Structure 1
Amino acid sequence: MTSQTSSTTASQSAAQGSHMWVLTLEMPGRGMTTQYGTWTPPASATRLDVFVTLRGHIVAQHPEMASANTVFFSLEPNQL
């Protein structure tokens, strides 16, 4: 049973991206959104490239956030 649980956990981790991210955007007095997930950026990507891509992804889902302020951004390796 223990090895089966470990195997499931390992396969779930393998399905996740190499980095975990959190991004919060705010339109002062009008609204805020926080989104998070995992992603494996291209090998040549910089932190700025990842930020711009993720921000664009959020704005595509929430066009009203196009001119929002970035309140929080975190990008970390997705491992303990």
Structure 2
Amino acid sequence: MSSQTEHTTAPAATGQGSHHYVLTLDIPGRLSGCWLGTVTPSPTATRHDVLSDLLGQIRADKPEFARANIAFFSLESNRL
């Protein structure tokens, strides 16, 4: 099972967030999912804050992932 979502917490000049994320969750032998998109964190936000927010949104939308393991998480600048 794979899913895509875009999460933007603040408007960005280019229509995309300032950071790009990829998050993969896994329940071994049962279920896995991958989410990717852009986000513009607040100036005081940490990587932990962004991850916590993403997990909260995913778990609210898809409760079956409430106890999933984080298999992969990347958060990087959305600039080349």
Instruction: Classify the TM-score, shorter chain.
Output: 0.7 to 0.9
Higher-helix-fraction structure: 1
Which structure 1 residue ranges, 4+ long, deviate > 6 Å from structure 2? none
Equivalent residue number for residue 57 of structure 1 = 57
SS in 2 for 1:22: strand
What CA distance in whole angstroms lies between the structure 2 residues aligned with 1:32 and 1:61? 15
State the structure with more CA Rg: 1
Equivalent residue number for residue 32 of structure 1 = 32
What CA distance in whole angstroms lies between the structure 2 residues aligned with 1:23 and 1:34? 6
- List alignment gaps of at least 5 residues for structure 2: 1-12
What CA distance in whole angstroms lies between the structure 2 residues aligned with 1:75 and 1:40? 11
* Percent of paired sites with the same residue: 53
Q: In the alignment, residue 14 of structure 2 is paired with which amino acid?
A: A
Instruction: Output the TM-score relative to the length of structure 1.
Output: 0.82
- List alignment gaps of at least 5 residues for structure 1: 1-12
Q: In the alignment, residue 59 of structure 2 is paired with which amino acid?
A: V
RMSD across aligned positions (CA): 1.0
What CA distance in whole angstroms lies between the structure 2 residues aligned with 1:35 and 1:61? 12
CA offset digits 1:24-65 (Å, max 9, x no partner): 001111100000000101110001000100111111111010
- The number of equivalent residue pairs is 68
What CA distance in whole angstroms lies between the structure 2 residues aligned with 1:27 and 1:56? 17
What CA distance in whole angstroms lies between the structure 2 residues aligned with 1:15 and 1:67? 33
What CA distance in whole angstroms lies between the structure 1 residues aligned with 2:37 and 2:58? 12
